[in-house]
Amino acid sequence: MSEPIIIVDDIHKSYLMGKEAVPALRGVSLEIQRGEFVCLMGPSGSGKTTLLNIVGGLDEPSRGHVMVEGDNLVSLNENELARLRLQRMGFIFQNYNLLGNFTAQENVEAPMVLARMSRRDRQQRAHELLEKVDLGDRAHHYPSELSGGQQQRVAIARALANNPPILIGDEMTGDLDSVTGFAIMELVASLNKEGMTVVFVTHDPRMAEFASRVIELRDGKLLGN
């Protein structure tokens, strides 16, 4: 059996509130196999978003290790972490995080600019990705001219820009109505069927049903995986 794409080993995370250290994660360990579709669930304050951010290299643990495709995130410096995120992870957030003064096309191109892809190649790939998420005819629209569902589709296309093996989603459907939310999850599920590993947080059990495995957290610990 191949090595898991993500290994979380005895992760602890505390935040300082005044002079007091408040634990967010208490010794979390788990493995995610390549091609899995994993959902993190739990009540507010359970640690699910903290865990997602640590897996995505957006936050660092107080103790423990995270391995992504054999690289220990804890041992990487900021430049190495940024490169890993750019090349191996795509991020989708609840509030889309699109650049308001960029068109849909330019938003999708942005990660490819950072990856130093040629202008011609990145324009072609951005066009292909917008077609993939059914927004080929909205390429030159700005986020303010798009619905919430359309903006999230642009965000998904942007997340796919550098063809990462891992997709990280934080409440991807939280700001969307249920019909649009289901459409977004069906799109993400289709990407998973193409081989992409997906790890996402949701509070909505209907969206969690798309996952092949649901991991529940409470008070910073796993209930089971």
In the chain, where the domains are located = 6-224
Phi, psi of 19 (to 5 degrees): -105, 0
Alpha-helical (H) ranges within 22-172 are: 48-55, 78-88, 104-114, 119-132, 148-159
Token pair, residue 45, equals: 């304050």
Residues of the chain where predicted confidence (pLDDT) is lower than 70: 1, 224-225
Separation of alpha carbons 121 and 225, rounded Å: 41
Separation of alpha carbons 204 and 66, rounded Å: 27
Query: What is the model's pLDDT at position 77?
Result: 93
The CATH fold of domain 6-224: Rossmann fold (3.40.50)
Q: In Å, what is the CA distance from 77 to each residue of 28, 204, 225? A: 23, 35, 30
Question: What's the full length of the chain, in residues?
Answer: 225
Query: What is the model's pLDDT at position 224?
Result: 57
pTM for the full predicted model? 0.92
Query: What is the model's pLDDT at position 175?
Result: 84
Query: What is the model's pLDDT at position 94?
Result: 86
Query: What is the model's pLDDT at position 129?
Result: 94
- 101-137 residue pLDDT tens: 999 999 999 999 999 999 999 999 999 999 999 999 9
Query: What is the model's pLDDT at position 45?
Result: 87
Q: Contact 176/148 with Cβ under 8 angstroms?
A: yes
Query: What is the model's pLDDT at position 88?
Result: 94
